[in-house]
A and B are shown apart, each in its own frame.
Chain A
Protein backbone atom coordinates (compact mmCIF):
# COMPACT_ATOMS: atom_id res chain seq x y z
CA UNK A 1 0.00 0.00 0.00
CA UNK A 2 2.70 2.46 1.04
CA UNK A 3 4.90 1.38 -1.82
CA UNK A 4 2.07 1.81 -4.32
CA UNK A 5 1.42 5.35 -3.07
CA UNK A 6 5.13 6.12 -3.26
CA UNK A 7 5.29 4.77 -6.80
CA UNK A 8 2.33 6.88 -7.88
CA UNK A 9 3.79 10.07 -6.38
CA UNK A 10 7.23 9.27 -7.82
CA UNK A 11 5.65 8.81 -11.26
CA UNK A 12 3.98 12.23 -11.03
CA UNK A 13 7.23 13.84 -9.84
CA UNK A 14 9.38 12.29 -12.57
CA UNK A 15 6.81 12.98 -15.27
CA UNK A 16 6.49 16.65 -14.35
CA UNK A 17 10.30 16.99 -14.15
CA UNK A 18 10.66 15.59 -17.68
CA UNK A 19 7.85 17.91 -18.81
CA UNK A 20 9.71 20.91 -17.40
CA UNK A 21 12.80 20.03 -19.43
CA UNK A 22 10.98 19.16 -22.66
CA UNK A 23 8.22 21.79 -22.95
CA UNK A 24 9.14 24.74 -25.14
CA UNK A 25 6.82 27.25 -23.48
CA UNK A 26 8.35 28.43 -20.15
CA UNK A 27 4.88 28.93 -18.66
CA UNK A 28 4.12 25.25 -19.18
CA UNK A 29 7.48 24.48 -17.60
CA UNK A 30 6.60 26.61 -14.58
CA UNK A 31 3.26 24.81 -14.14
CA UNK A 32 5.02 21.45 -14.40
CA UNK A 33 7.44 22.62 -11.71
CA UNK A 34 4.50 23.50 -9.42
CA UNK A 35 3.17 19.94 -9.83
CA UNK A 36 6.66 18.62 -9.15
CA UNK A 37 7.07 20.66 -5.96
CA UNK A 38 3.62 19.57 -4.76
CA UNK A 39 4.60 15.93 -5.28
CA UNK A 40 7.78 16.42 -3.29
CA UNK A 41 5.71 18.02 -0.51
CA UNK A 42 3.59 14.84 -0.48
CA UNK A 43 6.78 12.77 -0.14
CA UNK A 44 7.85 14.97 2.80
CA UNK A 45 4.55 14.02 4.45
CA UNK A 46 5.27 10.32 3.98
CA UNK A 47 8.65 10.90 5.65
CA UNK A 48 7.00 12.55 8.67
CA UNK A 49 8.22 16.07 7.86
CA UNK A 50 4.89 17.90 8.17
CA UNK A 51 6.36 21.36 8.66
CA UNK A 52 8.55 21.04 5.59
CA UNK A 53 5.60 19.86 3.51
CA UNK A 54 3.65 22.98 4.50
CA UNK A 55 6.68 25.22 3.93
CA UNK A 56 7.28 23.58 0.56
CA UNK A 57 3.76 24.39 -0.59
CA UNK A 58 3.76 27.93 0.82
CA UNK A 59 7.31 29.03 0.04
CA UNK A 60 8.18 27.02 -3.07
CA UNK A 61 4.95 26.26 -4.90
CA UNK A 62 3.45 29.53 -3.69
CA UNK A 63 5.91 32.40 -3.40
CA UNK A 64 8.84 31.29 -5.55
CA UNK A 65 6.76 30.01 -8.44
CA UNK A 66 4.64 33.17 -8.47
CA UNK A 67 7.91 35.08 -8.84
CA UNK A 68 8.90 32.83 -11.74
CA UNK A 69 5.56 33.26 -13.49
CA UNK A 70 5.79 37.02 -13.01
CA UNK A 71 9.26 37.08 -14.59
CA UNK A 72 8.09 34.91 -17.51
CA UNK A 73 5.10 37.18 -18.10
CA UNK A 74 7.32 40.27 -18.06
CA UNK A 75 10.05 38.88 -20.29
CA UNK A 76 8.10 36.79 -22.78
CA UNK A 77 5.03 38.62 -24.01
CA UNK A 78 2.42 36.06 -25.01
CA UNK A 79 -0.05 36.27 -27.83
CA UNK A 80 -3.28 38.14 -27.18
CA UNK A 81 -6.19 35.90 -26.39
CA UNK A 82 -8.61 36.27 -29.24
CA UNK A 83 -11.40 34.12 -30.51
CA UNK A 84 -12.96 31.12 -28.81
CA UNK A 85 -11.08 28.88 -26.40
CA UNK A 86 -9.28 26.29 -28.55
CA UNK A 87 -9.60 23.67 -25.81
CA UNK A 88 -13.26 23.68 -24.92
CA UNK A 89 -13.16 19.98 -24.13
CA UNK A 90 -11.06 20.66 -21.02
CA UNK A 91 -13.95 22.53 -19.42
CA UNK A 92 -16.19 19.51 -19.67
CA UNK A 93 -13.57 17.41 -17.90
CA UNK A 94 -12.94 20.05 -15.22
CA UNK A 95 -16.33 19.70 -13.51
CA UNK A 96 -16.23 15.90 -12.95
CA UNK A 97 -12.63 16.15 -11.75
CA UNK A 98 -13.58 18.88 -9.27
CA UNK A 99 -16.57 16.90 -7.98
CA UNK A 100 -14.41 13.78 -7.61
CA UNK A 101 -11.78 15.73 -5.65
CA UNK A 102 -14.43 17.20 -3.35
CA UNK A 103 -15.94 13.75 -2.73
CA UNK A 104 -12.49 12.35 -1.96
CA UNK A 105 -11.70 15.14 0.49
CA UNK A 106 -15.08 14.72 2.18
CA UNK A 107 -14.49 10.99 2.52
CA UNK A 108 -11.09 11.52 4.12
CA UNK A 109 -12.42 14.24 6.45
CA UNK A 110 -15.35 12.05 7.53
CA UNK A 111 -13.06 9.18 8.30
CA UNK A 112 -10.49 11.18 10.25
CA UNK A 113 -12.89 13.15 12.46
CA UNK A 114 -12.40 12.32 16.11
CA UNK A 115 -9.08 10.55 15.72
CA UNK A 116 -6.28 12.74 16.93
CA UNK A 117 -2.93 12.11 15.40
CA UNK A 118 -0.49 11.30 18.17
CA UNK A 119 2.72 13.15 18.79
CA UNK A 120 5.00 13.06 15.77
CA UNK A 121 8.06 10.89 15.60
CA UNK A 122 11.60 12.14 16.05
CA UNK A 123 11.15 14.37 13.00
CA UNK A 124 8.02 16.14 14.20
CA UNK A 125 7.43 19.88 14.16
CA UNK A 126 8.32 20.20 17.84
CA UNK A 127 11.71 18.52 17.45
CA UNK A 128 12.55 20.66 14.47
CA UNK A 129 11.54 23.90 16.18
CA UNK A 130 13.60 22.96 19.23
CA UNK A 131 16.59 22.24 17.02
CA UNK A 132 16.22 25.49 15.06
CA UNK A 133 16.26 27.62 18.20
CA UNK A 134 19.04 25.79 20.03
CA UNK A 135 21.67 24.07 17.89
CA UNK A 136 20.97 26.05 14.74
CA UNK A 137 20.26 29.45 16.30
CA UNK A 138 23.17 31.24 14.62
CA UNK A 139 22.38 30.01 11.08
CA UNK A 140 18.74 30.83 11.74
CA UNK A 141 19.58 34.44 12.60
CA UNK A 142 22.00 34.67 9.69
CA UNK A 143 19.19 33.58 7.37
CA UNK A 144 17.23 36.67 8.31
CA UNK A 145 20.24 38.86 7.45
CA UNK A 146 20.59 37.01 4.12
CA UNK A 147 16.94 37.58 3.26
CA UNK A 148 17.22 41.26 4.12
CA UNK A 149 20.36 41.61 1.98
CA UNK A 150 18.63 39.85 -0.92
CA UNK A 151 15.61 42.14 -0.59
CA UNK A 152 17.73 45.31 -0.68
CA UNK A 153 19.86 43.93 -3.51
CA UNK A 154 16.83 43.09 -5.65
CA UNK A 155 15.38 46.56 -5.17
CA UNK A 156 18.70 48.09 -6.18
CA UNK A 157 19.03 45.82 -9.23
CA UNK A 158 15.55 46.34 -10.58
CA UNK A 159 15.57 50.11 -10.22
CA UNK A 160 15.43 51.93 -13.55
CA UNK A 161 18.31 54.29 -14.19
CA UNK A 162 16.98 57.77 -14.68
Chain B
Protein backbone atom coordinates (compact mmCIF):
# COMPACT_ATOMS: atom_id res chain seq x y z
CA UNK B 1 0.00 0.00 0.00
CA UNK B 2 1.36 3.39 -0.97
CA UNK B 3 1.50 5.72 2.04
CA UNK B 4 -0.76 8.78 1.91
CA UNK B 5 2.21 11.11 2.25
CA UNK B 6 3.20 10.25 -1.34
CA UNK B 7 -0.21 11.43 -2.52
CA UNK B 8 0.15 14.63 -0.54
CA UNK B 9 3.60 15.29 -2.01
CA UNK B 10 2.23 14.76 -5.52
CA UNK B 11 -0.70 17.03 -4.70
CA UNK B 12 1.66 19.76 -3.50
CA UNK B 13 3.75 19.52 -6.67
CA UNK B 14 0.64 19.67 -8.87
CA UNK B 15 -0.65 22.69 -6.98
CA UNK B 16 2.71 24.44 -7.41
CA UNK B 17 2.71 23.73 -11.16
CA UNK B 18 -0.83 25.11 -11.38
CA UNK B 19 0.17 28.31 -9.58
CA UNK B 20 3.22 28.70 -11.84
CA UNK B 21 0.92 28.36 -14.85
CA UNK B 22 -1.40 31.07 -13.51
CA UNK B 23 1.52 33.44 -12.94
CA UNK B 24 3.53 32.73 -16.09
CA UNK B 25 0.95 32.43 -18.87
CA UNK B 26 -0.94 35.38 -20.39
CA UNK B 27 -3.65 33.52 -22.28
CA UNK B 28 -6.76 33.59 -20.03
CA UNK B 29 -7.82 30.13 -21.22
CA UNK B 30 -4.49 28.58 -20.19
CA UNK B 31 -4.65 30.47 -16.87
CA UNK B 32 -8.09 28.97 -16.36
CA UNK B 33 -6.83 25.47 -17.11
CA UNK B 34 -4.00 25.98 -14.63
CA UNK B 35 -6.57 26.89 -11.99
CA UNK B 36 -8.33 23.59 -12.74
CA UNK B 37 -5.00 21.85 -12.22
CA UNK B 38 -4.61 23.43 -8.78
CA UNK B 39 -8.22 22.54 -7.91
CA UNK B 40 -7.54 18.92 -8.78
CA UNK B 41 -4.42 18.92 -6.64
CA UNK B 42 -6.58 20.02 -3.69
CA UNK B 43 -9.13 17.30 -4.54
CA UNK B 44 -6.40 14.67 -4.54
CA UNK B 45 -5.25 15.80 -1.10
CA UNK B 46 -8.84 15.65 0.20
CA UNK B 47 -9.32 12.08 -1.04
CA UNK B 48 -5.96 11.05 0.42
CA UNK B 49 -6.91 12.51 3.83
CA UNK B 50 -10.29 10.79 3.68
CA UNK B 51 -8.55 7.49 2.91
CA UNK B 52 -6.24 8.02 5.86
CA UNK B 53 -9.10 8.63 8.27
CA UNK B 54 -11.24 5.83 6.86
CA UNK B 55 -14.30 8.00 6.28
CA UNK B 56 -16.10 9.10 3.12
CA UNK B 57 -16.24 12.76 4.19
CA UNK B 58 -13.30 13.71 2.02
CA UNK B 59 -14.96 12.16 -1.00
CA UNK B 60 -18.23 13.99 -0.33
CA UNK B 61 -16.28 17.25 -0.17
CA UNK B 62 -14.55 16.49 -3.49
CA UNK B 63 -17.97 15.82 -5.01
CA UNK B 64 -19.06 19.35 -4.07
CA UNK B 65 -15.80 20.81 -5.35
CA UNK B 66 -16.46 19.15 -8.71
CA UNK B 67 -19.97 20.59 -8.92
CA UNK B 68 -18.74 24.08 -8.04
CA UNK B 69 -15.85 23.75 -10.52
CA UNK B 70 -18.31 22.86 -13.29
CA UNK B 71 -20.37 26.00 -12.54
CA UNK B 72 -17.19 28.08 -12.29
CA UNK B 73 -15.87 26.89 -15.65
CA UNK B 74 -19.17 27.60 -17.41
CA UNK B 75 -19.44 31.15 -16.05
CA UNK B 76 -15.72 31.88 -16.44
CA UNK B 77 -15.60 30.78 -20.07
CA UNK B 78 -18.71 32.85 -20.82
CA UNK B 79 -16.99 35.90 -19.32
CA UNK B 80 -13.85 35.26 -21.38
CA UNK B 81 -15.93 34.95 -24.56
CA UNK B 82 -17.74 38.23 -23.78
CA UNK B 83 -14.41 40.01 -23.14
CA UNK B 84 -13.04 38.66 -26.41
CA UNK B 85 -16.09 39.92 -28.30
CA UNK B 86 -15.60 43.41 -26.84
CA UNK B 87 -11.82 43.65 -27.37
CA UNK B 88 -10.93 41.15 -30.11
CA UNK B 89 -7.71 40.26 -28.34
CA UNK B 90 -6.97 37.49 -25.92
CA UNK B 91 -4.35 38.52 -23.38
CA UNK B 92 -4.80 39.35 -19.72
CA UNK B 93 -2.30 42.22 -20.14
CA UNK B 94 -4.97 44.17 -22.04
CA UNK B 95 -7.41 44.06 -19.14
CA UNK B 96 -6.17 47.06 -17.19
CA UNK B 97 -9.33 49.16 -17.15
CA UNK B 98 -9.82 48.83 -13.40
CA UNK B 99 -6.17 49.23 -12.56
CA UNK B 100 -5.42 51.92 -10.04
Interface residue ranges, A against B (CB under 8 Å): 2-3, 6, 10, 13-14, 17-18, 20-21, 26, 29-30, 33, 36-37, 40, 43-44, 46-49, 51-52, 55-56, 59-60, 63-64, 67-68, 71-72, 74-76, 121-124, 127-128, 130-132, 135-136, 139-140, 143, 146-147, 149-151, 153-154, 157-158
Contacts and interface: CB of A to CB of B under 8 A. Distances in A.
Nearest to A151: B74
Contact of B56 (A10, A128, A158): A128
Nearest to A160: B85
Most chain B CB within 10 A, of A17, A122, A127, is at A17
Given A29-B33, A52-B62, A60-B40, A10 B10 contact: yes
A52 B40 contact: no
A52 B59 contact: yes
B29 to A, nearest CB: 5
A46 B2 contact: yes
Interface residues of B, number: 56
A63 B36 CA distance: 13
Contacts of A127: 55-56
Interface string B44-66: 10011011001111111011101
Given A46-B2, A60-B40, A123 B51 contact: yes
